[in-house]
Amino acid sequence: MQAGAAEATPGRATRSRSLRAQRETLFYVLISPWIIGFLAFVFGPMMYSGYLSLTKWNLLAPPQFIGMGNYQQLLHDPLFWQSLKVTTIYAVVSVPLGLAFALFLAVLLNQRVRGLSVFRTILYLPSVVSGVAVSVVFMWVFNPSFGIVNSILGYFGIKGPGWIESPTWALPAMILMSLWSVGGAMIIFLAGLQNVPPELHEAAQMDGAGMWRRFFRVTIPLLTPTILFNLILSIINQFQIFTQAYVMTNGGPLNATLFYVFYLWQNAFQYLNMGYAAAMAWILFLIVLVVTVAVFATSRKWVFYQGGE
Amino acid sequence: MGISRGKRILMQGMSAAVAMGGVAFSWSAAPTFAATPVTLTVSTWDSGAGLAAYRLGIQAFERMHPNVRVQIQSVPSTYYLPKLLTEMANGSAPDLMLVGDTNVNAFVNSGLLENLTPLFRQHKYGLNAAAYYPNVLNIGKVGGQQYFVPKDWADESVIYNKAMFQAAKLPLPKPGWTMAQFVHDAVAMTKFKNGRVVQWGVQLPGTWLRAGLEYFVDAYGGHIISPNGRTVNGYLNSPATLRAIEFYVGLYTHHNQISPTPQAMSGTFAKVDLLLTHRVAMEPTGPWNISTYRSDPHLNFGVAPMPVGPTHKPMTTAFWAGWGVYKNSPHLQLANELLAFFASQKWASIDSAWAMPALKGPTVAQMEKKDPVMKTFFAQAPYVQPLDVTRTRNWNKDVSPVLTNLIQQAVLQPKSNIPALVHAAVQQIDASLAQSYQ
């Protein structure tokens, strides 16, 4: 028996190696479309844009290597700092506001009421409307003379501000407008809410916890992985805001809505300053990367996974 | 430029009449025979009726060149420049490309465009500079050399609502009317209800520099940038230009809401025609929406030349796009022939169905005879001013954003010290120009 077993072991090991090799081959064959796509359309262009960021290039003449010249120039460009400031304010205000609003809507949609699917559809619908169409609608919503917002304020005797025509109010208007598209986060929150075990609520209720206490002590902690996910996505999305500035304000008035990606686009395709735009893209990449890593790093302290992972 | 069906038929009829009249087309040189099938590419941002004109024109060209196919690359205007630039960058640019006046200098400086001057000098393929409105043709020149040939053009005039003039008991504007009359009329026709404007006297172009500030600078005898395009010092801050800027800003700040603000014009009203919605009495602009105005039975409109400024000379500004030939085209000779086709009376007769041909001659004569509105636009051709944008390499980056901000700031803060703002703008633009010319 022992001798037979000893003879069988090398054969099994060979078969096992062969099986593993086959699986590895299959793995690489199956994943190769993605790897090829990633190398050709993401990694390759990224590396090339890294090189371009070290050049002066107007797309018409060959790129001219200038080392760190674009990065140095960025440091002295007031519009770069303005775009960074505008985008940071926008992200810092709109991300928590959007998440809170999405969570509020998700909680409402998690109630057992009649016509729930209709409400879910209505509240999610704005998210699937094109950004350009939404921007055009909001141009009129925020029109100081004829817009619905100022008309409503007028009924209460309040003279509404200039909204997108005012350097002071244009950015707040864009932040308010960002609430229009919280549908995606709302759906994810809703899925998270439905994964909260009802028995935990029941147990807390039996222990005398009220509605708010249960929400903050049971629901929110169990929802933190979902909050983390939505937070990361929102940060990445909000740092890339473009369409609203492009359609509604052209970055104005007085650069009040000069978002980072809009200024990047202007440099690339309006100012024919592609090397400079590539440098801006890399800085944005680094900013988003640092913020994302920082959020992940802090998540150990405030994200709770069921099962204690 | 949109056009009504009626006008299109009328113009096509006119074109046919011109053709049947046995008018000799200038495009008469013997075409090149392509031994093997060749495909030429021509890029444009035109669409709809404009594209239909191309198809007609290209059919005629292909009939003359049996082995040549012409492919139209029509790209929406928003994406046109990025696409063209990336094609230039990877060496796959179209053989013939349409370029707007703002980018003329940058494209020429790339060294990727064929210098057309020798072709014009030798009258090759029938190219003849004398056949054009000189001021319109000259916009396609850089350093005295012809690199672009105008596809068509437009100029700025004042389109006005006759009924509003009559209601205000004002005489209709006539050639030679002054800026003082223009302002007076705008003020008189601005109406308020419950403290809100219900009718503006004029729709000023706001931060649309070409139609706004650039025209007024011309009318005051000023310039924005030096002839070599390397500095604005001594030009943007010259007394004449300063007066023009103060006047233009003053139209917004010295009078009570005679026009929507520049912010409104770049925002909510950017895509709204206030003349068509009967909200405004006058609009300095090009002829693009004339056919739409004609289709509104309630809009009784007229057209007048731009008001005369302190120079006492009639002036207007042009809106322009021209053809350039890609120097590295594998079919350079055929590309030149295609360019010559677009510089022919045959093309002018086709294109006249929806645009203003840049070639003088029978087509334009017919249009002027039949259409007094278009006649007013064509009559401004001798007064088209050279465009400052073609003087410098990167107007869009170095000059335009700073001027846009200058106007916004001066209008939003009516107590601004305009000479100080202009001084700061000069510093900023010159610093940017210095980088561009490094």
Q: Among all chains, which residue has been given the structure tokens 């990606």?
A: A261
B38, B125: one domain: yes
Question: Environment class of residue A178 by beta-carbon count within 10 Å: exposed (0-12), middle (13-18) or buried (19+)?
Answer: buried
pLDDT of B2 reads 40
Q: Which residues in chain A touch residue B252, judged by CB atoms under 8 angstroms apart?
A: none
Q: Is the pLDDT of residue A10 over 70?
A: no
Please indicate, yes or no, whether residues B239 and B292 belong to a single structural domain of this protein. yes
Q: Do residues B194 and B259 share a domain?
A: yes
A164 CA: distance to closest CA in chain B (Å): 8
Residue B65 has a CB neighbour count (10 Å cut-off) of 19
Does A306 score more than 90 pLDDT? no
Two tokens, residue B94? 């179209």
Q: How far apart are CA B136 and CA B36, in angstroms?
A: 37
Q: Do B397 and A140 touch (CB under 8 A)?
A: no
Cβ(A251)–Cβ(A245) below 8 Å: yes
Sheet with B96-100, strands from edge to edge, namely B68-74, B38-44, B96-100, B318-325, B149-155
How high is the pLDDT of residue A5? Answer: 52
What pLDDT was estimated at residue B437?
Answer: 87
At residue A217, what is the residue type? Answer: R
- A47-58 burial, b for 16+ CB within 10 Å, e for fewer? eebeebbbbbbb
Contact residues on chain A for B207, CB-CB shorter than 8 A: 252
Q: Maximum distance among all alpha carbons in chain B?
A: 75
Whether residue A139 and residue B109 make contact (CB cut-off 8 A), yes or no, is: no
- What is the per-residue pLDDT for B170? 97
Domain residue spans of chain A: 2-52, 74-302
10 Å Cβ neighbour count for A114? 6
Please judge whether A272 and B394 are an interchain contact, meaning their C-beta atoms are less than 8 angstroms apart: yes
Q: Are B321 and B150 in contact (CB under 8 A)?
A: yes
Mutate to test the interface with B, among A52, A60, A250 (most CBs of B within 10 A): A60
CATH number of A74-302: 1.10.3720.10
Contact of B14 with B367, CB cutoff 8 Å = yes
B204 exposed, middle or buried (CB, 10 Å; 0-12, 13-18, 19+)?
buried
In sign, the C-alpha dihedral spanning B279, B285, B289, B290 is positive
Looking at the fold, whether B190 and B108 belong to one and the same domain comes out as no
Same domain, B285 and B420: yes
- Residue B161 pairs with which residues in a beta bridge? B301
**Co-location of B253 and B340 in the same domain:** no
Token digits for B121? 């000098």
Size of interface A-B (CB pairs under 8 A): 80
- pLDDT tens for A17-58 read 888 999 999 999 999 999 999 999 999 999 999 999 999 998
Interacting residues of A238 by C-beta distance below 8 A, sequence separation 6+: A87, A90, A91, A94, A95, A98, A178
Q: Are residues B166 and B222 in the same domain?
A: yes
Amino acid letter at B408?
A: Q
Q: Are residues B402 and B259 in the same domain?
A: yes
Q: For residue B9, give the CATH number of its domain.
A: 3.40.190.10
pLDDT value for B5? 45
Indicate whether B92 and B32 sit together in one domain: yes
Q: Which residues of A touch B (CB under 8 A)?
A: 58-61, 73, 79, 136, 139-140, 143-147, 162, 164-167, 248-250, 252-255, 266-273
User: Which residue(s) pair with B303 in the sheet?
Assistant: B159
Sequential pLDDT tens for chain B (438 residues): 344 444 444 444 444 443 333 333 344 455 566 668 899 999 999 888 888 888 989 999 999 888 899 999 999 988 898 899 889 888 899 999 999 999 999 899 888 999 999 999 999 988 999 999 999 999 999 999 999 999 989 999 999 999 999 999 999 999 999 999 999 999 999 999 888 889 999 999 999 999 999 999 999 999 999 999 999 999 999 999 999 999 999 999 998 889 999 988 888 888 888 999 999 999 999 999 999 999 999 999 999 999 999 999 999 999 999 999 999 999 999 999 999 999 998 889 988 888 899 999 899 999 999 999 999 999 999 999 999 999 998 899 999 999 999 999 999 988 889 999 999 999 999 999 998 888
The answer to whether B106 contacts A60, with C-beta atoms less than 8 Å apart, is yes
Containing domain of residue B383, as a range?
Answer: 5-154+319-388
Contact: A145, B85; criterion CB under 8 Å? no
- Can you list the alpha helix ranges (DSSP code H) found in B103-226? 104-109, 117-121, 134-138, 162-167, 179-188, 215-219
Q: Same structural domain for residues B150 and B161?
A: no
At A181, is the pLDDT very low, low, confident or very high (cuts 50, 70, 90)? confident
Give how many domains chain B has, as a whole number.
2
CB atoms B106 and A272 under 8 Å: yes
Q: Which of A84-88, A182-186, B339-343 has the highest mean pLDDT?
A: A84-88
Residue B331 shares a structural domain with residue B309: no
CA nearest B437 in A: which residue? A56
- Give the residue from A84, A168, A150, A80 showing the smallest Cα distance to B413: A168
Same domain, B296 and B415: yes
Rg (Cα) of chain A, in Å, rounded?
26
